[in-house]
Structure 1
């Protein structure tokens, strides 16, 4: 359906709710994959920016963080919908001006009629999303949720699992598997007080992003996360738990490659182009 026809229909009072490739239709499918109601209460998720004039969604752009550099890339690629894992709008905005980068994001999206959707902790908490993806770094048959929701025990953050008994791995093996799975070249490692790089890893726990509060006290040989506080790392290694840290968004970004295929199956429409950001990257770099 052309944009000219859509404007004509709107002018005549027709609803665009059931428009082919409509924003509402795609948001509904995204919520069907990971309901935003399952996100943490403090989070800001779902459809964050909706242009005033509806149009078919023909290009979807995936990013972990929506920075100005990433948004410039999205505009150049003529994106209709950005799915940014982290919500760039979090606290309240009192003005939409050019004075801060956060408000410039909103301004540029609206000017270019780009919608914005952020799933964040709804992806953390739902099965088949980012938590389970990070757990795939090490071989296991099933994982258990560390902090399940009071309403639904199959939803919650963090995963803990036993390594498959027929695939014995060491801490050194685990480090290489995590780097390969996340697509990064370096990680930070803290080794349990009574362990070495050759110690066997029989169990592990993961939490994408910031893992301190979720992983604290979990019984496992190894914690895998993006970041933990200095004192929580010390607590872990003195409890003989080794730690692998990837940097916050490096523990999440790799999931977008898997989600690209998941989204294509959800939409089941070859006319919609799904692109991964090429400029999205963790702000911290190890030299």
Structure 2
């Protein structure tokens, strides 16, 4: 090969696959920074493994993990470079991670709002958890004849129904619990195999990009028959790894078991601005389901008779990496890697090391074991 710096061929296969699964044109460029954020030069003499590490946030711990694993590329849902940089120094912890990864030949790609917007992406995954239907582009295009609304009087008793989340409790001894690792989510995939509910869904803000019908930011779900809020809370808990608890808000004087829900506004991460747009456009819902809302946004919602379920910002996003993105990317990277290998194998000027790298047909996609939301919940030891 020439002395011109180039990206590792496997890294290019991953980037190509991500762009096909979640086109960058769908991202909200008014504020977002998506795409290949760090393009590390390839060195065939110390080449990386044919592996990609998925994470929500590229923290120092995830950086250490990628270097230890010798990954070719990190796909970080949240962009680690969000605004313009005037320098890259080791003083800044995020810049330090980028410099360390570049030195090791590891690139960084961020899809962020392209994943939020895509059909079958993050918005649909959260809607699936609410409705009990699996994420699939094909199934989104079909009516499920077995989907029938279940009468609230016939539903199974909720494990939360007997308790009032706003009741005063004794002061216990607490310990910190973080949201379950995505590694434990395999046990909870049955959440999406529960009897699905007949419903309609559509984006809160439909994309203006031509050629992507049904894509857009957020989702509105309208159920064919109302269900109790406690049942929805059970579905959310099961679909997202059974966390020990998460914030909910209901109108004053009400309990969760009093609330019947027919419509849900959904937004991964922080939903305040998207929910405000929803209201301006006259879309009324009974429940707001998101990662986080400000105090005043939540207060305004319950004053209007709405309910709110929050999971902390990144806990609405992390399970998607394991449940949907990982299998999607494994298949797409396999196809793209085969194309690149066929195009570049034995091309004139290739070094022996370069051709050796192209002979490696292994493809690996893993989800970070150390990525987590910065917040945890202090819970009573007696409840463990």
Query: Could you tell me the TM-score, scaled by structure 2's length?
Result: 0.67
Counterpart selection for 1:160 from 206, 211, 220: 220
Counterpart selection for 2:34 from 27, 33, 45: 45
Q: Contact conserved, 2:54 with 2:367, CA < 8 A, in 1?
A: yes
Uncovered stretches (5+) of structure 1, i.e. residues with no partner: 1-8
Match of 2:18 in 1: 30
Query: What root-mean-square deviation, in Å, do the aligned CA atoms of Structure 1 and Structure 2 show?
Result: 2.2
Residues 157 and 113 of structure 1: CA distance in aligned 2, closer, same or farther (over 3 Å): same
The superposition leaves residues 9-37 of structure 1 with CA deviations (integer Å, 9 ceiling, x where unpaired) of 345x8x978x8x53223212211111112
Match of 2:368 in 1: 277
C-alpha distance in structure 2 between counterparts of 1:185 and 1:142, whole Å: 30
Q: Contact conserved, 1:160 with 1:205, CA < 8 A, in 2?
A: yes
Match of 2:141 in 1: none
Uncovered stretches (5+) of structure 2, i.e. residues with no partner: 132-196, 336-360, 379-384
Instruction: Give the C-alpha shift of residue 57 in structure 1.
Output: 6.1
Alignment of 1:1-287 (within 5 A): 9-10=1-2, 21-41=9-29, 42-53=31-42, 58-139=50-131, 140=197, 141-152=199-210, 154-165=214-225, 169-183=227-241, 184-193=243-252, 195-198=254-257, 199-216=259-276, 217=279, 218-258=283-323, 259-268=325-334, 271-287=362-378
In our comparison, the structure showing a higher alpha carbon Rg is 2
Deviates most, 144-153 or 217-226:
144-153
Stretches of 4+ aligned residues off by more than 6 angstroms: none
Instruction: Give the C-alpha shift of residue 207 in structure 1.
Output: 0.1
Between 1 and 2, higher relative CO (CA 8 Å, sep ≥ 6) is seen in: 2
Q: Contact conserved, 1:124 with 1:130, CA < 8 A, in 2?
A: yes
C-alpha distance in structure 2 between counterparts of 1:105 and 1:37, whole Å: 27
Count of aligned pairs between the two proteins: 273
Structure with greater helix share of residues: 2
Q: Contact conserved, 2:207 with 2:216, CA < 8 A, in 1?
A: yes
Query: Could you tell me the TM-score, scaled by structure 1's length?
Result: 0.88
